[in-house]
Structure 1
Amino acid sequence: MRRSAANERERRRMNTLNVAYDKLRTVLPEMDSGRRLSKYETLQMAQQYIACLMEILGEGSPKQSPQK
């Protein structure tokens, strides 16, 4: 009984995580390949996209600390 409850909690947790990845994919630029990005590729693309947007805004790369 406890095992099935734990399994159900894990299924809900994974579903929530997958929904979050799907939402993240909707705000990333489209890929030419036409296939869905993997979770790893989604995180990589998000990191690159954020760095690109920061560069456009003139804030440099995300690894740089703001100058005072």
Structure 2
Amino acid sequence: MAAALVAHLDTLQAQPGFVGAELLTSPAQPGLVLIASRWTCPAPQLPLPAGAKSWVFEVQEARGAVSGEG
């Protein structure tokens, strides 16, 4: 799954409104891989790799700088 998500991550930068994204893992959750992405517009509906799920979150509050911005 991680390789499929890396490939998916590579496709995001070609999408309109893309600001940045990271591939996240946690030693406490082996096998769990997340993509966090930021957009200047609503996130596009893109096909996902087999077995992947997606959720859209909206920032309600922020503190400090976000990597890849500014």
Same fold (TM over 0.5): no
Higher relative contact order (CA 8 A, sep 6+): 2
State the TM-score, normalizing by the size of structure 1. Answer: 0.30
Larger radius of gyration: 1
